[in-house]
Amino acid sequence: MASVSIERSSSEPEWLLSILADGHRQETLESQIKPRIQKVPAILRDINSHGDSFDPMVVSFGPYHHGNPKLALVEKLKITIAKQLVLGKDPKEFFKFDEVARDARTYYDEESTARFSDEEFTRMMFLDGCLLLYSIDCIMKENLPEDSKIRNNQMAFISRDILLLENQLPYVALQALMRLNIPGDEGEQLVHKYIMKQATGSVISHHHSSEKQDKDQPPHLLHLLRKELIGTPPPNHEPSMDEFDDWHSFRSVSELKAGGINCKKSSSSSLKNVRFKAQSFHGDLSLPPIVVDDITKSLFLNLVAYEACPDFPNDYAVTSYVCFMDALIDHSEDVKLLRSKGILLNLLGSDEKVADLFNDLATNLVPNPYEYREVKGSIEKYYKKKRVIWMTEMLETHFRSPWTAVGFFVAMVIILLTFVQSYFSIFPRGGGGGDQQRSRAPARKIPYNY
């Protein structure tokens, strides 16, 4: 690294020069260091209702939660499973993993890896990687081997723990293990199918995924999951900065329905595939379908935490989606409406629980202000058309069912008949106002000559 030399100047104080020098060194270091596997930011972890969403339940992967006594049961199984990989292999092949482990060490916070010697760290990477790949294989087969020491309920929790931010293994370590045990690119395909399955467990429909992988090396599995969820949405018009400068808020699903806006399921499950289209007398808001279950909260919070990492440049797509859904869902009635349209599959329990979940997920989150900007602006413009709102409210009130429609027409007929009856009681037929005046005039007398 080239040394930094800053000449002293009488016009610049020494403390300012030191700040400039330290800042230059910091920028140089950051440009040379690859993105790391970070810990969850305190602003998210310190929320009381979020705490257990970031910690593993049964197994640790990597150094951050290694040695936790609560995870000892599955920890003991790692050696048993790793032996299945070692047996029958040439021991010399495993020397290659030493170099991979040294590279993997640079992905973690130095303070968290300082307690491990090189040998201890390599051993941890190997055992953790073997268990992770073994678990993925079992999950994709949807059944455990007869001689498996892992129970079905434990495997369900392992699947959840695999996708925690602080539980990630560097992808380079997983690749090295796949090459040792799985022929060709079958290992890469297995992992990719697993990620697709996890994505479709949270967001369902005709999936947008392609078989092509990133040209760049992904840092870990959580990164692959985020990419799968976001996908590649259809091309869309990018609004100008002042095209939608007249909207200030957003409305729930129930409020949008009252304004003539219907929600419908998108053709793609990309989180960015949110579209609004104005029709003659109503509007259509297309949303990607989503499954809400016991791991939804943990999954989204860890993706949000990943987007909050300081060394990960991104557009906060998942964070913005969570905030967007929080705006749409205020109460259980909003969840019910989304369920009725096939947009939301509730496996969590009551609709109220789902509403509470999204309201809780959005705590302390700041979305990308330009994400969904065109959709929100178009909805606000459409919603302000009072004529459309009035007509929609009338149709919703009086024509929501055949019986209400019949009742409305009967009421209108009664009102019409009452009006006609009143009119003819005042102005009887055959005796209009003009005729009455003429009949009241004195009759003309005709003289008769006798």
Q: DSSP string of 50-65? A: GGGGSS-SS---SSTT
What angle separates helix 221-230 from helix 296-307, to the nearest 10 degrees?
Answer: 100
Can you list the alpha helix ranges (DSSP code H) found in 275-401?
296-307, 317-328, 332-340, 351-361, 373-383, 386-398
What pTM, to 2 d.p., does this model score?
0.79
Q: What is the DSSP string of 49-112?
A: GGGGGSS-SS---SSTTTT-GGGHHHHTHHHHHHHHHHTTS-GGGGGHHHHHHHHHHTTS-HHH
In this predicted structure, what is the pLDDT of residue 7?
53
Residues 301/262, Cβ–Cβ less than 8 Å:
no
In this predicted structure, what is the pLDDT of residue 249?
60
Spatial neighbors of 406 by CB under 8 A, at least 6 apart, are none
Least confident of 41-50, 316-325, 412-421: 412-421
CA distance 350 to 336: 10
Looking at every residue in the chain, the average pLDDT score rounds to: 82
pLDDT surpasses 90 at 232 = no
Q: Token pair 């129930």 is at which residue?
A: 254
In this predicted structure, what is the pLDDT of residue 182?
81
Least confident of 209-213, 277-281, 405-409: 209-213
Which one has a higher pLDDT value, 384 or 282? 282
pLDDT surpasses 50 at 371 = yes
